[in-house]
Amino acid sequence: MFEIQDPNSIQLNSEGQLKHFITTEGLSKALLTEIIETADSFADMSAQQVKKVPLLRGKTVVNLFFESSTRTLSTFELAAKRLSADVLNLNISTSSTSKGETLKDTLQTLEAMHSDMFVVRHSDSGAAHFIAEHVTPNVAVINAGDGRHAHPTQAMLDMLTIKRHKGDFSPLIVAIVGDILHSRVARSQIHALRTLGAAEIRVIAPTTLLPKNIEALGVKVFTNMQAGLKDADVVIMLRLQKERMQSALLPSESEFYKLFGLTNEKLQHAKPDAVVMHPGPINRGVEIESAVADGPKSLILDQVTNGIAVRMAVMSMSMSGQMTEKNLKSEAQ
Amino acid sequence: MVTGTLSVESLLDKMVSELKTLLIHRQIDDPLIIGIRTGGIWIAERLHTALALESPIGMLDISFYRDDFSQIGLHPKVQASQIPCATEGRDIVLVDDVIMSGRTIRAALNELFDYGRPSSVTLVTLLDLQRRELPIQADVYGSTMSLSPNQQVKLSGPDPLELEISQKD
């Protein structure tokens, strides 16, 4: 684990613009809205025959994945390519003992290749923050998931998906269901939803999969699925993080499905026009019934599409923030 | 030194008549009008009405195509471009309020071509400030104007459309 200081001291430049994207925590409503709106205009680009803009032309983006991921890596890669950047994908196993030093060595090697942006995924909380602290100036760092800490682009693509289907956040009841304890996605979603002013944020999970003091984040806690889903506008299912389960926190997957798996029957308790989301990959028959995942209320594939747009938005905004800072510094000299 | 506002109605009349003549000369009977956000769209709407065209108006936001991203960064309020029908093989009338360096039009042409290969592009602007940095010229313009370096001109609208000339801060 790395220590995490005040995130905004590192992710914003002196003008208050994004220069790294490490976490949704502490970012202003205006900035989160700007990310959503910028992403929204990138999403509409799909009408173009050539689905590419020249914003990051000549820039090199390195996807630095210390933890495997198919959909996050491929959407980041596609996002960078649609911004006309050159992209390098690196999958690095985390077998080493002195992680901090190894990271620094890896960074120096990549910086020598004149990279302009690192997209980092790591199993340790705080890894992206650590890298942002140690990169050379004018290199942007985007967090693509760090341990249990944050997965801000996933949270923002979920916000874009909600915005595109529900419009305004203020009347919404949003229920997040499943393995909250191990979920960096849930944490980032809760921060974003609170800042964007959702009326009520609920977490629904068995006690063993809830972090201590989760109420401090401003959420209502439910251990009964039916009660928690009552009148919800948005239901976000989380993946059961089997690879993160260190001990027997669950009696069995089938028991979990019986109590917390999303079925059409349980979904009856939510509002009639409720939408269902899931960050993927889904465990069918563990968190969610296939009939729901493939049903008319499911936005799971919209989320993937919106993921590209959100990643294009934070990449271009962070690069823009870095360049603004660079120009301000050279003016001051 | 000139400051103040200027009505654009007479300029628009002149542009409509010149554009009509030009389209006939070029044998274009169903052009697709595309305005560049924001002022260009207002002018495009007026031309669209005056020419009684059937194809809806397209709107272009060139923020993602600007050539000064590394100098000034991303424009904070980017709106999506809306091109309502296929541009492939169409005769485009591209409209902006002011042409100065020509860089906006360069960006607009690049974006336009990402939607498909138009048959032709005719450029119409309300004002030509005659300070070109690129070899791009308007086919039809309302008026030329020479401003001193510390003056700027801005179109306000959409109703009424007015040109305002002011001192830079």
> What rounded mean pLDDT belongs to chain A?
90
- Decide if pLDDT at B99 tops 70: yes
Q: Which CATH superfamily is domain A152-298 in?
A: Aspartate/ornithine carbamoyltransferase (3.40.50.1370)
Q: B12 CA to chain A: closest CA distance, Å?
A: 31
Domain boundaries, chain A: 8-151+305-332, 152-298
Q: Which residues pair with B94 in a beta bridge?
A: B34, B123
The domain containing residue B59 runs over which residues?
8-63+87-167
Establish if B128 belongs to a structural domain: yes
Domain-located, residue B69: no
Nearest C-alpha of chain A: how many angstroms from B107?
Answer: 10
Expressed in angstroms, the distance from the first to the final Cα of chain A is 38
Would you give the distance in Å from CA B41 to the centre of its chain? Answer: 7
Looking at A107-116, A203-212, B34-43, B101-110, which range is the least confident one? A107-116
> Which tokens sit at A52?
């590419």
- Per-residue model confidence (pLDDT) at position B1: 45
Domain count, chain B: 1
| Residue in B with minimal Cα distance to A19 | B73
- CATH number assigned to the domain comprising residue B43: 3.40.50.2020
In a domain, B52, yes or no: yes
Question: What's the distance, CA A88 to chain centroid?
Answer: 21
In the predicted structure, residue B82 carries a pLDDT above the cut 50: yes
pTM strictly above 0.90: no
**Which of B109, B114, B117 is the best residue to mutate to test the A interface, defined by the most A CB atoms within 10 Å of its own CB?**
B114
Whether residue B77 lies inside any domain: the answer is no
* Statement: residue A111 has pLDDT above 90: no
B134 touches A: beta carbon within 8 Å: no
What is this model's ipTM? 0.78
pLDDT at B78: 79
Is B126 a domain residue? yes
CA distances from A218 to A2, A190, A199, A276 (A): 25, 8, 11, 22
Interchain pair B114, A316: CB under 8 A: no
Residue B54 lies in a domain: yes
Residue B151 has pLDDT above 60, yes or no: yes
Instruction: Classify residue B15: in a domain, yes or no.
Output: yes
Give the CATH class of A8-151+305-332. alpha beta
Residues in A touching B113 (Cβ below 8 Å)? 50
**Does B1 map to a domain?**
no
Number of Cα atoms under 13 Å in the Cβ half of residue A2:
24
Per the prediction, chain B carries an average pLDDT of 91
